[in-house]
Amino acid sequence: MEITDRKKALLEAIIKQHIKTASPVGSNLLVGRGGFKLSPATIRNEMMDLEKDGFLTHPHTSAGRIPTEKGYRFFIDNFLEDTDLNDKHKDQLKQMSKADKEHLLAVKQVAKEVATLSNGAVVVGFAPRDIYYTGLTNVFKQPEFAELDLIYNLSEVVDHLDEAVEGIFEDISQDIHILLGDDNPFGKDCSTILTKYKRDKEEGLIAILGPMRMDYAHNRALVKYTQELITNL
């Protein structure tokens, strides 16, 4: 299926706006803020096409659209920029890494700060069956998890986090991996950005878990810097 440049630009704008606001995005908003020299009617038609192609959907109570799993995948593959973490956040993480001389406790302090900076949950796998997690409250506070079914699904995942980590521990490399929807072992309603870190002969896993509507560029930069920080502790 061929997607035109105009549709790509609209899809990028819709997803970025939805990530910021958590609200459905309407055609009038794109005319006002998206910089598109198109009429609302033309934008609506393009949005309808994107919905037919599976990139967008719309809540029953709104005329605006939100991204689907397919839309987010397209965004990650085509629009996600490899950004560097800003110096302020680097300094905050460095300070946390010095909060305790014992390695495991220092990693846990770093994980707590990452959870705060990402507004998500952080899972650290010291070994396949040795895990630490923090920040789940951040995830449950997201608008997506106002529905009881989603809360139940995520709670069930939390109960089996050790099994999820064990299932992927050996397959994850030191590259930055982004898993979402059906490919995400931590829950099909979520996204996960994760990687392996190595320190001496030890290796572990670090992951940020959140809704699909997460700030992928920022969180990927967080994971990348945290990997480097833990490796050099």
> What pLDDT was estimated at residue 88?
97
Superfamily covering domain 87-231: GAF domain (3.30.450.40)
Report the C-alpha gap between 119 and 34 in whole angstroms: 26
What type of residue sits at position 226?
T
> What pLDDT was estimated at residue 145?
79
Q: What residue ranges of the chain have pLDDT lower than 50?
A: none
Q: What is the CATH number of domain 5-78?
A: 1.10.10.10
> What pLDDT was estimated at residue 71?
97
Using alpha carbons, list the distances in angstroms from residue 35 to 13, 29, 55.
Answer: 9, 10, 21
> What pLDDT was estimated at residue 46?
94
> What pLDDT was estimated at residue 32?
67
> What phi and psi values does residue 126 have, to the nearest 5 degrees?
-75, -25
Which residues, at least 6 apart from 21, have a Cβ–Cβ distance to it below 8 Å?
none
Give the residue extent of every domain in the chain: 5-78, 87-231
Chain centroid offset of residue 129 CA: 24
Instruction: Indicate the pTM of the whole model.
Output: 0.92
Mind spelling out the 3-state secondary structure of the chain?
Answer: CCCCHHHHHHHHHHHHHHHHHCCCECHHHHHHHCCCCCCHHHHHHHHHHHHHCCCEECCCCCCCEEECHHHHHHHHHHCCCCCCCCHHHHHHHHHHHCCCCCHHHHHHHHHHHHHHHHCCEEEEEEECCEEEEECHHHHHCCHHHHCHHHHHHHHHHHHCHHHHHHHHCCCCCCCCEEEEHHHCCCCCCEEEEEEEEEECCEEEEEEEEEECCCCHHHHHHHHHHHHHHHHCC
